[in-house]
Amino acid sequence: MIALPKRIFVTGIDTNIGKTVISAILCEALKADYWKPVQSGSVEGTDSDFVRRHCFENIVIHPSAYCFKEPVSPHLAAKKENTRIEPDKIKIPQTKNTLVIEGAGGIMVPLNDESVILDLIVDWETPAIVVSKNYLGSINHTILTCEMLNAAGVEISGIIFNGEPTPSSEEYILNYTNLPMLGRIEQTEKVERKFIQTQAEKLRKQLEMF
């Protein structure tokens, strides 16, 4: 079985790519803690709430350092609430468990006028899992994300593909990046607790194949 690190940063190639669902599946599969340091769009319900509802009963959800109401970029959400995100004040929770950290959007999403999500990953020296999903342009977005992480010295544990299989695109991405496919999450119209459990078991089996 592939040995995933004790801290995992889940990032995506775009917004609404399935990071939260995959973070929940990882938490379920690894019996891990969950933490989303920066959240926006809380008026519609937080990603932490989603993970809590869909994961095992005693999952530890660490509180966000920043949580904003409007579903916009974190730096803009902060400005709308007359505050500023200070990355150096965001401290990683201490835990004996594996910690799944979910980013906000992609790696170049701004936190303030100077810092982006990538800076957090670098500062925390946390390996990343890249979530990819097929759409026109996704090969470019996936490879660019991986190239940026590599250039910043971030270890990439692998890629998880979300949604319908697209073998030709996935093969190209994996060959170009020389990264393993850690798993595939099936497409579903509605995410329920059973779906998370089923996909977590499937992911565990996929990881055991390495």
Active site residues: 36
On whether the CB atoms of residues 106 and 117 are closer than 8 A, the answer is yes
Residue 11, classed as helix, strand or coil, is strand
Task: Please name the residues in contact with 25: beta carbons below 8 A apart, sequence gap of 6 or more.
Answer: 185, 196, 199, 200, 203
The CA-atom distances, in angstroms, between 131 and each of 13, 44, 68, 89, 175 are: 6, 23, 24, 27, 16
Instruction: Find out whether 101 and 10 touch, Cβ atoms under 8 Å.
Output: yes
- DSSP-assigned beta bridge partners for residue 101: 9, 35
